[in-house]
Structure 1
Amino acid sequence: MADFDGLVRPTRKKFAKPPVKVACLPCRASRTRCGGQMPCSNCVNKDRECSYLPSKRGGPRKKKEKSSTSPERHQSQDVPYPAMPSPGFEECMCVDCCQTENQQINIVTPSNGILAGMFSQIDDLSLPGAGLRHLDFQAEVPSIFQGLFNSDGTQSHMQVPPISPSLMGTESYVRTYGSEPEILNAYYDFIHNYFPILPPRASPPCRDRPLNCPVPGSSSSEPTMIYRPRSPLSLALSAILALIPHPSDLDPDSGASILQRRAYAHSFAQLANSTIEAECDLDLSSTDPGQALSAGRPLVGRQRFHPQCPVDYESLLALLVLSTYEYAQRGNLLKMRYRAGQALAIALDKSLHAQTGNDEFSEARRRAWWMTYYCVVQGSIVSTTMPAIVINDPQFTTPYPSFSSDAEGWSILIQSQQVLVSATQFIGDLNKCLASQSGMYHMFERMQQLDAWTNSVIAQVELLPLVPQTSDFGDHNESITAQSIRAISRIKLCSAQIKTHRYRAFSDIPLFIKKHCDLTSANPSTPNTLPKQGIHNVSCPCSSLDTFQRAASTEYMTPSDSSTSSDIHPDPSSYVPQYPQYPFASGFPYSTQQSGKICLQASLLISRIFHSLPTPQPLSDARHQRPLPRTMPSFACCLIQSSYAMFMIYYKARVAKQLSPVQNEKGDDSTGQLIEELRQGLGRIIAAVSNYSIAFEALDGMRDEIEGAYKTAFSMSV
């Protein structure tokens, strides 16, 4: 053929036979053309083992996305979601293997590309801290699910750039207050219903009056404050309140407003930390260190922030507020746990864990201790680490606080926290046992015990208390708080159910199995076990798994191994689709059908309860045209758990609908109804996390990841 320079170049001879879609590993390594057989001719000639595993290369590129209300979003163009394969493209559900190598098989699944893309988005929602954006380091915002963990397995949150000086020159409004009583009143309006660290109101509610003057834009490290709170607790609360948009701010979503709120909140948080450090210092430490430890503690010479809370408790309570601030605003799990650990040290030093007697400060002591306990355990839950305390330590004898409208409310909250942290530990221990292929009988027993414990606490939650009729302002405010705390407890119990059952519920999905590569290996010689309906000549190498080899000991033997109970068989009337069972899962005390139904019900209930949580209703001269955000979302990880379960069930339902497109004789479409229910549930989850992200920037990432997977899943009609 003639080239542009006039030279005649030889025509490249095409392959007599096109290259295969999947090459074996030895041929890949040697860059040798593979015949695609098992074993291939190259491996036979060279007397070497021939094996096929998914390729880690290739696949659709993921475009960077900055879908959030953060200032960085306003400085960049919108990036569309990755394009989906056109309908009719037939491919396997195994993303990393078949989609990478473009292997096509005869499965009549018109939109498996969407399912594969969606699964790649939802698979990491179960990781600790999934979706949290990190404001503490300067780095480019990575695309969805990139860089969540470093190569060594340590956490690497989504990051956003620091405050841009170019956007700080615009005046905007920030919610700040001019006195301690006004900050205390705002605490009851915006925080107390979700995070009751103080006793009930000691005075009637008054109008919410944040300082109504624009704050000057400045690139300095410390924003200008008209009033500086005196207490570390009022400083910490001001950090949370500053994140709530000011009623006079006409454009709270603008980059300038968000950056100003971020700057003021962080300045309040830093001042709170420095005040705590100053109040914990001993006067003789700098002049006579030898006598410092034997001297008495310094007295704090200021008025109490709350009339029924001792002054020396305010540093402890401030640390609890800052722990949630580090999680929800800064996205820093390490600092979240560190602040809670500081509070625990102060609480133990004051013997708050073993308080007796009744006086005017009894309720404050009880709430200070049990909210410290709550925050310490919460840090363990969200980071999937061991708790810093023994959750049922017999030395913790302080009575629970009390709600006049709900005598059992605090007990239920603490029990729910204990159940959830136990479920979190169960996941870690289960993964270890699956990896070592030992100790499974003990895990089966723990699963049953944990499920029974969860159900017993759920029964307590559902026994709603009789609310006494009262006109007292304090009791009325506390009745709303008690209802909110009971709802939060129910959310936590549902999350515990998902954690307990999610492995069993979704272990029948090929991609879920593939994540546990220590259990299985690809072996195309094993007969395929996928349903035959709608499938012909399936030859995907990762759809066939080696039989799980049980240990010779009896630790794997369970009663269900030798029984014919219906528990190990799917219920044909269930809405949750079934997939083939793998041998290693047969010992579980629950079938995938049972666990799937539990996860479905729990995830949908979480979405409904989050949607029904009370929103702030302050007394105000201004009419709030925009919704006010709920605050203190230290349990936002439950939103992720719920969305993860719903996406996984949607994945299964979508595949089942494709494999069985014909409705039954009565014309019912139970799978379609399930998909619609999941769509509505995910919509409620997105609405809930969007409400939180009005104030808390770190939750932008959660919203964006759930919403991104949602748009991918429902981008085409079902």
Structure 2
Amino acid sequence: MSLKAFVESMIFPGAGLNGIDDNSRSGSCTYPPITPLSEHEEYPVPTARNYDSDEGLLNAYYIFIHPYFPVLPPPKSPLQDDNPIMGTKCTFQPSSPISLAISAILALIPCTTSPLSDLESSRLFRRDQAQLFAELAMESIEIESEVLQSTSCPAEALSSSPLAFQRRPFHPDAPIELESILALLILSIYEYAQRGNLTKMRNRASQALDAAMRISLHETSSSVGDPFQESKSRAWWMTYMCVLQSSIVSNTAPIIEVNRHCFSAPLPTINGDSATWRALLGSQDLIMKCTQYTTSLKRTLDAGGNTIPLESSFLMLDAEIQNLLAINVNSEILFESDVDSIEAVLIGSLQTQSQIKLHSARIKLHRYQAFRDIPIFTKRHCDLKASPNYAPSQFTDLLCPLIDQQVQPPRNTPDSSFFRSPTSQSSNESEREYKHSVSARICLLSALAISKAFNDLPFPCPMQSDHFDLQNLGTLPRTMPAFACCAMQGSYVLLMICLKNQENSQSYDAELRSSLDVLYSGLERILHALDNYSFAFEALQGMTNQVRDCFEAAKP
């Protein structure tokens, strides 16, 4: 099998991601032809972001990665201005697994100060550099688990130990034995967001889980005076998050118990408070359980089975989501130094992510009841079905209220009958319509909440000086978009309601047209978030294109 065929076989199609066929490492990557320049002009050189030390990489990690994916403990010193080395001037070579994995993510981020960053040749060069760092990170992980006798004297290898670490840790509060685990977590998201490879995403998360459990991170009890306690807690619970996330986006069964209470490892904290992390992990548990519920529902419906036994799960999950949404997790933590400021940003980011996940979980619960899962995208995205095209007649009997329309329940409607599908033994047509309308309204409100939450996520701030122009925020991409499927859930709902009401939009009065404008604004916010992610992560461009195409079709 050729290298190209092997690479293609490893890319699992789906999730609405564009698979990046990485042939650049085999020497077949071709850049766009460069237009001949005049005698006194220089040819543009493709650029990618590099750093001249581990300290520079760690500083960049806290600017670009930590606010969204906090695998490391808080910084030990105030952040400095981001100072990447562009072009071929950098001679520093990262060598540890985590520094290489971080380099893979950072290489994808265009340097907005370079006039060449928008060139197609620079984009391809960034892709090539990132993949090189990712491969070197995996090689470094293998090297750090090597036993010398395996090569020189295999007969002695079974009684020997792996190589002892002979380097300083990347972060002073993170022991070296955690670095390979953290690198695998970063690479898991890299495989998803940049390369669109769900198989490798799951593989990297599974490898991290195996390594974490091998050193008993999941059983670690809180130890007073342990300088590495916070690092161990974050390493374990981010591993837990990644394992569940890889199952959510690929719509497959998790390889771990979906219940954080099964593990005794203490929760991470921010200035000693664990409320933000508790909310994030609770939201991840719920979206995983709702994904499992949706899978069971579809399997039952496809088999023509009875969905009534699923009612109790539906009602329990919906109640859990509402309870978590009602909890105020805004921690009143006092930050007394510049070192803590990055953790203050982290609180807002993790709380926003929790809201996104909870509202996405609620859409998963109510989506079939509201829209019968009618496909509108031309490619499969996450757990949303694909259709080459859609017919407007599909939407005529859907009850999709606009945001200012109130739905009144019929009298004597028991809560336990809320979920029953139109094929169940219900003779009350008003009850059926009520259930569909309520589910549609719940999906609508959650979709609008998702669009607002994506808009509220912080942007990277590469300059730490007080005079930094805030208008420059948003010119750089957010990173680590592991929860991009939540954007697709919200987009699906808003598009369905727009398409349903498209035919009659001209006859609406000004108030209802204003309601449609709210839906369009929600879609624009989600598109803006996806565009921002796609600026660095190429696989997400598939999602972005699908939402944009459907959005254009939904406009009156």
TM range (shorter): 0.7 to 0.9
Q: Which has the larger radius of gyration?
A: 1
The question of whether the paired residues in 2 share the 8 Å contact of 1:686 and 1:707 is answered with yes
Matched-pair contact (CA < 8 Å) for 1:413–1:489: yes
Please state how far the C-alpha of 1:701 moved relative to its aligned partner: 1.2
Cα shift at 1:283: 2.4
Shift in Å at residue 391 of structure 1?
1.5
1:300 match: secondary structure = coil
1:274 maps to which residue?
A: 139
Q: Is the 8 A contact 1:327 1:698 kept in 2?
A: yes
Q: Is the 8 A contact 1:176 1:242 kept in 2?
A: yes
Q: Does the alignment pair 1:408 with 2:408?
A: no
Question: Which structure 1 segments of 5+ residues have no match?
Answer: 1-126, 139-160, 217-224, 516-529, 532-561, 571-580
- Report the Cα offset of residue 703 of structure 1: 1.1
Structure with a larger share of its residues in helix: 2
Distance 2:195 2:290 in 1: 26
Q: Counterpart of 1:131? A: 16
> Tell me, what secondary structure is at the counterpart of 2:548?
helix
> 1:495 and 1:397 mapped to 2: Cα distance?
28
- 1:287 paired to 2:152: yes
CA drift at 1:457: 1.5
Match of 1:435 in 2: 302
Letter of the 2:186 partner, please give it.
V
Corresponding residue to 1:318 among 172, 179, 183:
183
Residues in 2 aligned to 1:620 and 1:583: alpha-carbon distance in whole angstroms: 59
Counterpart in the other structure of 1:489: 354
Instruction: State which drifts further: 293-302 or 323-332.
Output: 293-302
Distance across 2 between alignment mates of 1:393 and 1:404: 22
Q: Paired residue for 1:466?
A: 332
Indicate if the aligned counterparts of 1:322 and 1:336 stay in contact, CA closer than 8 A: yes
- Distance change (3 Å), C-alpha of 1:508 and 1:379: closer
Segment of structure 1 superposing worse, 704-713 or 287-296: 287-296
- Residue 6 of structure 1: aligned partner: none
Identity within the alignment, %: 40
**Partners of 2:198 and 2:63 in 1: how far apart?**
27
After TM superposition, list the pairs within 5 Å mapping 1:417-566 onto structure 2. 417-460=284-327, 462-468=328-334, 470-507=335-372, 564-565=412-413
Deviates more, 1:470-479 or 1:253-262: 470-479
Q: How far apart are 1:311 and its partner, in Å?
A: 0.8
Task: Say if 2:247 is the partner of 1:374.
Answer: no
Aligned to 1:689: 530
Alignment length (residue pairs): 495
1:79-133 deviations in whole A, cap 9, x for unaligned? xxxxxxxxxxxxxxxxxxxxxxxxxxxxxxxxxxxxxxxxxxxxxxxx9944311
Q: Which amino acid aligns with 1:277?
A: E
Alignment partner, residue 202 of structure 2: 337
Aligned-partner Cα distance in 2 for 1:634–1:625: 21
1:595 pairs with one of 425, 432, 439: 439
Amino acid corresponding to residue 372 of structure 2 in structure 1: S
Q: Which moved more, 1:233-242 or 1:252-261?
A: 252-261
Tell me the distance in 1 between the aligned counterparts of 2:354 and 2:375: 34
Task: Tell me how far 1:409 sits from its aligned partner.
Answer: 0.7
Residue 293 to residue 649, structure 1, CA distance change in 2 (3 Å): farther
Q: 1:136 to 1:508 in 2, by over 3 A?
A: closer
* Equivalent residue number for residue 648 of structure 1: 496
User: Is 2:548 aligned against 1:704?
Assistant: no
Aligned counterpart for 2:111 among listed residues 246, 251, 254: 246
Q: Which residue of 2 aligns with 1:360?
A: 227
> Judging changes above 3 Å, is the alpha-carbon distance between structure 1 residues 568 and 320 closer, same or farther for their aligned structure 2 residues?
closer
Match of 1:222 in 2: none
Match of residue 475 from structure 2: 627
Whether 1:351 and 2:221 are equivalent positions in the alignment is no
The Cα of 1:475 is off from its aligned counterpart by 2.0
The 1:209/1:244 distance shift into structure 2, 3 A limit, reads same
Amino acid at match of 1:713: A
Cα pair 2:18 2:196 within 8 Å, conserved? yes
1:604 equivalenced with 2:448 (yes/no): yes
- The answer for the alignment partner of 1:86 in structure 2 is none
Letter matched to residue 245 of structure 2? Q
Kindly state the Cα deviation for residue 173 of structure 1 after the two structures are TM-superposed. Answer: 2.6
Indicate if the aligned counterparts of 1:599 and 1:645 stay in contact, CA closer than 8 A: yes
Counterpart of 2:271 in 1: which secondary structure? coil
How far does residue 713 in structure 1 lie from its aligned partner after superposition? Answer: 1.5
Q: Would the aligned equivalents of 1:406 and 1:482 in 2 still touch at CA under 8 Å? A: no
When structure 1 is superposed on structure 2, of 619-628 and 629-638 the one drifting more is: 619-628
* Gap runs ≥5 in structure 2: 1-11, 35-42, 381-395, 398-409
Does structure 1 retain, via aligned residues, the 8 Å contact 2:170–2:176? yes
Q: Displacement of 1:308 after TM fit?
A: 0.3
Q: Assess, with a 3 A threshold, how the Cα gap between structure 1 residues 186 and 510 changes in structure 2: closer, same or farther.
A: closer
Distance 1:605 1:372, change over 3 A: same
Does structure 2 conserve the Cα–Cα contact (< 8 Å) formed by 1:406 and 1:466?
no
The one-character-per-residue Cα deviations of 1:21-42 (angstroms, maximum 9, x if unpaired) are: xxxxxxxxxxxxxxxxxxxxxx
Q: Deviations over 1:557-604 (max 9, x none)?
A: xxxxx994187999xxxxxxxxxx944485999701111011001111
CA distance in 2, matches of 1:368, 1:377: 14
Mapped partners of 1:626, 1:438: distance in 2 = 49
Aligned to 1:68: none
Pair 1:618-2:483 in alignment: no
**Conservation of the 8 A alpha-carbon contact between 1:692 and 1:699:** yes
The alignment status of 1:214 with 2:87, answered yes or no, reads: yes
CA distance in structure 1 between the aligned counterparts of 2:117 and 2:311, rounded to whole angstroms: 51
Paired amino acid for 1:398: A
Alpha-carbon distance, 1:702 to partner: 1.2
When residues 414 and 475 of structure 1 are mapped into structure 2, their CA distance, relative to the original with a 3 A threshold, is: same
Runs of 4+ in 1 over 3 A off after TM superposition: 127-130, 165-170, 287-291, 508-512, 566-570, 581-590, 620-626
Q: Is the 8 A contact 1:185 1:205 kept in 2?
A: yes
Match of 1:179 in 2: 53
The answer (yes or no) to whether the contact 2:15–2:250 under 8 Å persists in 1 is no
Shift of 1:286: 2.5
Question: Which digits, 9 at most, give the CA deviation of each residue in 1:450-474, with x for residues without a partner?
Answer: 10111111122x3422232x33123
